[in-house]
Amino acid sequence: MTEQQLDVPLSFEGTRAIGATLGSGAVIVFDDSADLKQILLRIARFFRDESCGQCVPCRVGTVRQEEVLHRLLTDRKDSDVALLSDIAQAMRDASICGLGQTAANAIASGLTQLMVING
């Protein structure tokens, strides 16, 4: 969410109205000195580490998501953006738990903000 959206109610309805999700309900606030690339990599690493490994889409998807994100943040290629999107969709569609189904959401949101900031 951006600073223009600070007044949005932190409810399922409020966040859905702006195209966001409440997720687990965690809120992390960053100022303009935060290194968003490192934060995204840390979030990707968290999801990779938290995957129980029971289902392939999450077990492999979180690892691949982190790998592609590393590449994307060092040498942006449109093919990596598309691959990250494909991995996210496969994880949403085929993972058996909420972690796998939503692990890509924070990454996608952060990448959107990073693109807005960097143009």
Domain locations in the chain as residue ranges: 1-30, 34-118
Q: How confident is the model at residue 105 (pLDDT cuts 50, 70, 90)?
A: confident
Measured CA to CA, the distance from residue 96 to residue 58 in angstroms comes to 8
Tokens 């691949």 locate to 64
Residue (of 119, 115, 116, 113) closest to 29 by Cα position: 113
Q: How confident is the model at residue 119 (pLDDT cuts 50, 70, 90)?
A: low
Measured CA to CA, the distance from residue 25 to residue 60 in angstroms comes to 25
Report percent pLDDT > 70 for the chain: 95
Cα three-residue angle 74-99-4, rounded to 5 degrees: 65
Measured CA to CA, the distance from residue 67 to residue 37 in angstroms comes to 13
DSSP string computed for 74-89: HS--HHHHHHHHHHHH
Indicate if the pLDDT at residue 41 is higher than 70. Answer: yes
Tokens 């007044």 locate to 7
- What is the per-residue pLDDT across 6-35, written as a single tens digit (0 to 9) for each? 888 888 898 888 877 776 667 778 888 989
In this prediction the pTM is 0.80
Q: Match domain 34-118 to its CATH number in 3.40.630.30, 1.10.150.110, 3.40.980.10, 1.20.1440.230.
A: 1.20.1440.230
